[in-house]
Structure 1
Amino acid sequence: MGIRIYGIFASRAVRPLWAAQELGLAFEHVPTPYANKATRTSDFMSLNPNGHIPVLIDEREDASRPIVVWESMACALYLARHHGPPDGKSITPASAEEDAQALRWSFWSVTELEADALTVLMHRFVMPEERRKPELADAALARLQAPLGVLDQALGRNARGGEPVYLAGDRFTVADVCVASVVNWLRPSQGLEGFEHANAWLHTCLKRPAYKALKNLEARQ
């Protein structure tokens, strides 16, 4: 019985890994890179026929068989909903309003930010230099100005007297896990320049002990 998370820190798997760490869950991390066809083996494809990480396996006493969750945002939201106390202290939404905020911001980050943020990261830093296309990164960053403005304005409205601000309620929740994991891809390129509230919020998120623990995990991989 227990939870297993397949993936690596430097991937979308950071979302359920971060959520599990924030919740203080005991889980088994199965390092599974996306390179070298590691996700195309028959064993892995039996877990996720799409051949992508992360995959979350939850072996529960109240389920007749292990629950398998694909898609990084779904994995993080699942952990918060089914393994966290809705006590107004954990990352689990404590009300219908907080749950709505977590859902809408998480899906928003996928539809409005993720593809362009990944393009910027890949074509400015990750890909071999001879394969990079700076014009693609520049165009993606230009498209991101509008949704980053939406995020910055929302965080600005939540600001209160210099205290840390978050996306759902007055504390750090799974909404922040999901969105920060995407926005963080823009940090190496200084893509948050000019977005004061979003930049401060991201730094607050990345200072959390749970995230720092994951960075240590990355160093051991």
Structure 2
Amino acid sequence: MSDLSAFPITKKWPAKNPDVIQLYSLATPNGVKVAIALEELGLPYEVHRVDFGANEQKSPEFVSLNPNGRIPAIIDPDGPGGRPIGLFESGAILLYLAEKTGRLIPADPAARYETIAWVMFQMGGIGPMFGQFGHFHKFAADKVADNPYPVERYRDEARRLLSVLEGRLKDREWIMGEEHTIADITTYPWVRGADVFYGGREALGYKDFPAVMAWLERCLARPAAVKGLAVPADP
């Protein structure tokens, strides 16, 4: 049995099965990425719900694993060299899981780096911009009722990013063509989330991006998506 006692987070969220990947998360656009990847890869894992309402992501135990105090984070008891490893940042975790298994990322070096580029596109563009749009469109709408600039700024940038994705997906099944990869997994929870979490479908004009919408439907129809999007379950 693996010994995870070196990770203080396991004192707050004890591992029932320390021999499997420990996932610390919530069902947000960033959080579900890792659960979806784990489901796609068929890797056994144990999920621990991090309660934002109780500010658990800022607890000393959680911050000991992710100093930035954000979900998701993982501990893999079977890390490099057979030693446990703790990781945070969803993009880094997806890349780690893909390289660990040799799946969800192309073997060809050029295609591999292209996949990573599209992961970075989401991490540096779609995630932050969609998140800011959602904040001002839904959660801070009352604070900017007399100032449309924040909503318009992030709406317009989100639409620009969707147009980039639209161009990429025209005549493609997946972002990398015929292969479903971590580039898809890191991106579609945010495209879904801008609608489901932020109610932004109309404001962002999703109807203007038919290739993106068709791709999103294909992504959401995958069994791993159906399971992963519900992880962790509501209490």
Q: TM-score range by the shorter chain?
A: 0.7 to 0.9
- 1:189 matched to 2:200? The reply is yes
TM-score (norm 2): 0.79
Kept in 2, the 8 Å contact 1:59–1:67? The answer is yes
Kept in 2, the 8 Å contact 1:119–1:140? The answer is yes
1:106-145 alignment, distance < 5 Å:
106-125=119-138, 127=139, 130-131=142-143, 135=148, 136-145=150-159
Give the aligned partner of residue 39 of structure 1: 57
Give the aligned partner of residue 226 of structure 2: 212
Secondary structure of the corresponding residue to residue 207 of structure 2: coil
Measure, in 2, the Cα distance between the counterparts of 1:35 and 1:63: 37
Secondary structure of the corresponding residue to residue 193 of structure 1: helix
> 1:67/1:211 Cα in 2 relative to 1: closer, same or farther (>3 Å)?
same
Measure, in 1, the Cα distance between the counterparts of 2:231 and 2:184: 20
Instruction: State how many pairs are aligned.
Output: 209
CA drift at 1:41: 1.8
Kept in 2, the 8 Å contact 1:121–1:185? The answer is no
Q: Report which structure shows greater RCO (CA 8 Å, sep ≥6).
A: 2
1:133-172 Cα deviation digits (max 9, x unpaired)? 572223211122322221111111x43xxxxx10114021
Secondary structure of the corresponding residue to residue 149 of structure 1: helix
Secondary structure of the corresponding residue to residue 68 of structure 1: strand
1:80-99 alignment, distance < 5 Å:
80-82=98-100, 84-86=101-103, 91-99=104-112
CA drift at 1:197: 0.8
Measure, in 2, the Cα distance between the counterparts of 1:219 and 1:41: 21
> 1:210/1:101 Cα in 2 relative to 1: closer, same or farther (>3 Å)?
same
> 1:28/1:97 Cα in 2 relative to 1: closer, same or farther (>3 Å)?
same
Kept in 1, the 8 Å contact 2:21–2:75? The answer is yes
Kept in 2, the 8 Å contact 1:93–1:99? The answer is yes
CA drift at 1:175: 1.0
CA drift at 1:95: 2.2
TM-score (norm 1): 0.84
Task: Give ranges in structure 1 of 5+ residues lacking alignment.
Answer: 160-164
CA drift at 1:75: 0.9
Measure, in 1, the Cα distance between the counterparts of 2:233 and 2:82: 37
Measure, in 2, the Cα distance between the counterparts of 1:128 and 1:148: 23
Give the aligned partner of residue 69 of structure 1: 87
Task: Give ranges in structure 2 of 5+ residues lacking alignment.
Answer: 1-18
